Amino acid sequence: MYTRLGILHMAINILTGFFISQVFISKSKVRTYTTSYNISHSFISLCLSLTQSQYTSSFTNTNMALNLKTLVNHAVHAPLSSSRQLFHGVSPKPTSIAFSHSSSSSPQGFGTQITTQRKEPLSNQQTAAVRHLTGSLITNEGLRFAVVVARFNEIVTRPLLEGALETFNRYSVKEEDVDVVWVPGSFEIGVVADRLGKSRKYHAVICIGAVIRGDTTHYDAVANSAASGVLSASLNSGVPCIFGVLTCENMEQAMDRAGGKSGNKGAEAALTAIEMASLFEHHLK
């Protein structure tokens, strides 16, 4: 009996010293966790009660588990100002504490287990229900396209049209599935694109034109009208209308974008049309 009492008193001293203070030093950042006198005193009192109850059988496993849970909760939820001091603004990550009581034939007071589990942020949890919808440049069988081309600045718009047709051919769009409609200028593109979209004959409409700044404000009026006209045609008809109208400061900029060093914007418009038509046909129908 005295041997068991001695072992239990030794455990009391060790655990009391552990709860009084801990100092962790890592990479020149110091965290000091100091429990209050009330916590250590409560822990000693509880252990002494456990010692007496070993031989009086007046303390049950359930009561000891509840007391230990209350003590640990008091230690965990103690105010920061009295129980721990933080340096350099570093605080530990939140953890959850779970208690489980074992009904096996273990000594009294040792049937309660304390486990900690770190919670993962919600931002790191993946959602399996998310679907990503995108158009395809390959599955274009049965898709039909219309190309509205402005005749004004034809030296620019014709290379843009050729780039679009070459791209259609490269991605296996049949020639009979593409119709080209010529209009006088970029200002007239919007109304024609709207009519083509509402005809329900085409899955996408490409709008090609070139507006180059001159000496007057005519450039601003035509450029803005062309952009808003194509947007309105797309929204009103429900058919993707691709904006392929160049708005450049000079002719050099326009030629650079019509097959020059900046690529061919007509070809880029054709790629956009194929992808959008596929998206609408296969996912947004």
The CATH number assigned to the domain holding 220 equals: 3.40.50.960
Look at residue 86 in the predicted model and tell me its pLDDT.
41
Residues 169 and 234 in one domain: yes
Residues 263 and 192 in one domain: yes
The residue among 164, 162, 228, 139 whose CA lies nearest residue 191 is: 228
Look at residue 190 in the predicted model and tell me its pLDDT.
97
The parent domain of residue 176 ranges over 145-282
Look at residue 84 in the predicted model and tell me its pLDDT.
44
Residues 32 and 159 in one domain: no
Residues 182 and 261 in one domain: yes
Residues 73 and 150 in one domain: no
Look at residue 11 in the predicted model and tell me its pLDDT.
65
Which of 81, 97, 117 delimits the end of a domain? 117
Tally of domains within the chain? 2
Within-domain flag for 125: no
Within-domain flag for 268: yes
Look at residue 139 in the predicted model and tell me its pLDDT.
84
Which of 97, 117, 137 delimits the end of a domain? 117
**Distances, alpha carbon 275 to alpha carbons 175, 268, 279, in Å:** 18, 11, 6
Residues 184 and 273 in one domain: yes
Look at residue 177 in the predicted model and tell me its pLDDT.
97
Distance CA 83, CA 35 (A): 5
Look at residue 59 in the predicted model and tell me its pLDDT.
43
Angle at CA 37, nearest 5°, toward 62 and 101? 15
pLDDT along the chain (285 residues), means of 10: 59 60 44 47 56 48 51 49 43 48 47 54 65 91 96 98 97 96 98 97 98 95 97 97 97 97 97 97 91
Query: Which residues are annotated as catalytic?
Result: 218
Within-domain flag for 126: no
Look at residue 209 in the predicted model and tell me its pLDDT.
98
Residues 56 and 171 in one domain: no
Look at residue 26 in the predicted model and tell me its pLDDT.
44
Q: Which long-range contacts (CB under 8 A, 24 or more apart) does 48-56 make?
A: 48/12, 50/8, 50/108, 50/109, 51/5, 51/8, 51/9, 53/108, 54/4, 54/8, 54/108, 55/1
Within-domain flag for 138: no
Within-domain flag for 99: no
| pTM of the entire predicted model | 0.57
